Amino acid sequence: MDIKQKIEELRKALQEHNYNYYVLDSATISDFEFDMKLKELQELEAKYPEFYDATSPTLRVGGMVTKNFETLVHEHRMYSLDNSYSKEDLEDWEKRIQKILGDVTVEFTCELKYDGASISLTYEDGKLVRGLTRGDGFQGDDVTNNIKTIKTVPLQLRGDYPSKFDIRGEIVLPFEAFEKMNLERIENGEEPYMNPRNTAAGSLKLQDSALVAERPLECLLYSVVGTNLGLSSQYQVLEKTRSWGFKVPTVAKLCKTTDEVMEFVDYWDIHRHELPYETDGVVVKVNSIQQQEELGYTSKAPRWAMAYKFKAEQVSTVLEEITYQVGRTGAITPVANLTPILLAGTTVKRASLHNADQIEKFDIRVGDTVFVEKGGEIIPKIVGVDLTKRSENSLPTQYIDHCPECHAPLVRTEGDAKHYCPNEYGCPPQITGRIQHFISRKAMDIEGLGGETVELLFKEGLIENYADLYTLTKEQLLPLERMAEKSAENLINGVAASVNIPFERVLFALGIRFVGETVAKKLAKAYKNIEALMVASVEELITVDEIGQRIAESVVGFFGNEKNLEILKRLRAYGVQFELSADKLLNQTELFKGKTFVVSGVFEKVSRDELKKMIEDNGGKVGSSISSKTSFLVAGDKMGPSKRTKAESTGVPIISEEDFLEML
Task: Give the CATH number of the domain where residue 224 resides.
Answer: 3.30.470.30
Q: Is the pLDDT reported for residue 520 higher than 90?
A: yes
Q: Which CATH number do you get for residue 362?
A: 2.40.50.140
pLDDT at residue 108 is higher than 70: yes
Q: What is the mean pLDDT of residues 476-485?
A: 90
Cα(657)–Cα(602) distance, integer angstroms: 10
Query: Is 402 inside a domain boundary?
Result: no
Determine the longest span between alpha carbons in the chain, in angstroms.
89
- Angle, alpha carbons 144-141-42 (nearest 5°): 15
Domain of 552: which CATH number?
Answer: 1.10.150.20
Q: What is the reported pTM?
A: 0.74
How many other C-beta atoms lie within 10 A of the C-beta of residue 46? 9
| 491 inside domain | yes
Are 434 and 529 in the same domain? Answer: no
CA distance 624 to 227: 22
Distance CA 522, CA 509 (A): 14
pLDDT over 80 (residue 1): no
Given 500, 520, 551, the domain boundary residue is 500
Of 415 and 354, which is predicted with more confidence?
Answer: 354
- Residue 359, pLDDT above cutoff 90: yes
Q: What is the mean pLDDT of residues 608-616?
A: 87
Q: How large is the average pLDDT for residues 474-500?
A: 93
Q: What's the total number of domains in the chain?
A: 6
pLDDT above 80: residue 59: no
From CA 277, how far away is CA 461, in angstroms rounded? Answer: 50
Q: How confident is the model at residue 616 (pLDDT cuts 50, 70, 90)?
A: confident
Q: Can you state the angle between helices 87-101 and 258-271, rounded to 10 degrees?
A: 140
Q: Find the mean pLDDT for residues 90-99.
A: 93
The larger pLDDT score, comparing residue 160 to residue 30, is at 160
Any idea which residues carry the catalytic annotation? 113
Say which residue, 60 or 233, is predicted with more confidence: 233
Residue 398 lies in a domain: no
Number of Cβ within a 10 Å radius of residue 638: 10
Domain that holds residue 153: 83-309
3-state helix, strand, coil in the chain (%, to 5): 40, 20, 40
Quick one: 186 and 288 in the same domain?
yes
pLDDT in tens, 69-86: 888 999 999 999 998 988
Considering the domain architecture, whether residues 151 and 236 belong to the same structural domain is answered as: yes
Q: Identify which has the larger pLDDT, 437 or 381.
A: 437
Q: Answer yes or no: do 513 and 609 share one domain.
A: no
Q: Indicate if the pLDDT at residue 376 is higher than 60.
A: no
Query: 116 and 258 share a domain?
Result: yes
The CATH number for 649's domain is: 3.40.50.10190
Say yes or no to pLDDT of 257 above 90: yes
Boundary residue ending a domain (455, 474, 500): 500
Distance CA 598, CA 600 (A): 7
Angle at 125 between CA 121 and CA 126, to 5 degrees: 55
The pLDDT > 90 percentage for the chain reads 60
Asked whether the predicted pLDDT for residue 553 surpasses 70, the reply is: yes
**Average pLDDT value for residue range 112-134:** 95
DSSP characters for 116-143? Answer: SEEEEEEEETTEEEEEEE-TTSSEEEB-
pLDDT score of 25 more than 70: no
Give residue 22's pLDDT band: very low, low, confident or very high (50, 70, 90).
low
Question: What pLDDT score does 527 carry?
Answer: 92
**Lowest-pLDDT range of 218-227, 463-472, 539-548:** 539-548
Among 11-20, 219-228, 242-251, 490-499, which stretch is predicted with the lowest mean pLDDT? Answer: 11-20
Q: How confident is the model at residue 302 (pLDDT cuts 50, 70, 90)?
A: very high
Signed CA dihedral, 413, 331, 432, 551: sign only: negative
Residue that finishes a domain, picked among 529, 564, 585: 585
> Are the beta carbons of 616 and 526 closer than 8 angstroms?
no
Average pLDDT, the chain: 90
pLDDT at 569: 97
Given a cut of 80, whether residue 21 has pLDDT beyond it is: no
In a domain, 69, yes or no: no
Across 292-297, average pLDDT: 90
Predicted local distance difference test score (pLDDT) of residue 367: 96
521 and 456 belong to one structural domain: no
Does the residue 72 lie in any domain?
no
174/277 Cα distance (integer angstroms): 5
d(CA 286, CA 303) in angstroms, rounded, equals: 9
Query: What mean pLDDT comes out for the span 511-519?
Result: 90
pLDDT (0 to 100) of residue 319: 97
Average pLDDT over residues 28-33: 77
DSSP annotation of 466? G
Residue 29 in this model has a pLDDT that exceeds 90:
no
pLDDT in tens, 169-194: 999 999 999 989 888 888 888 778 87
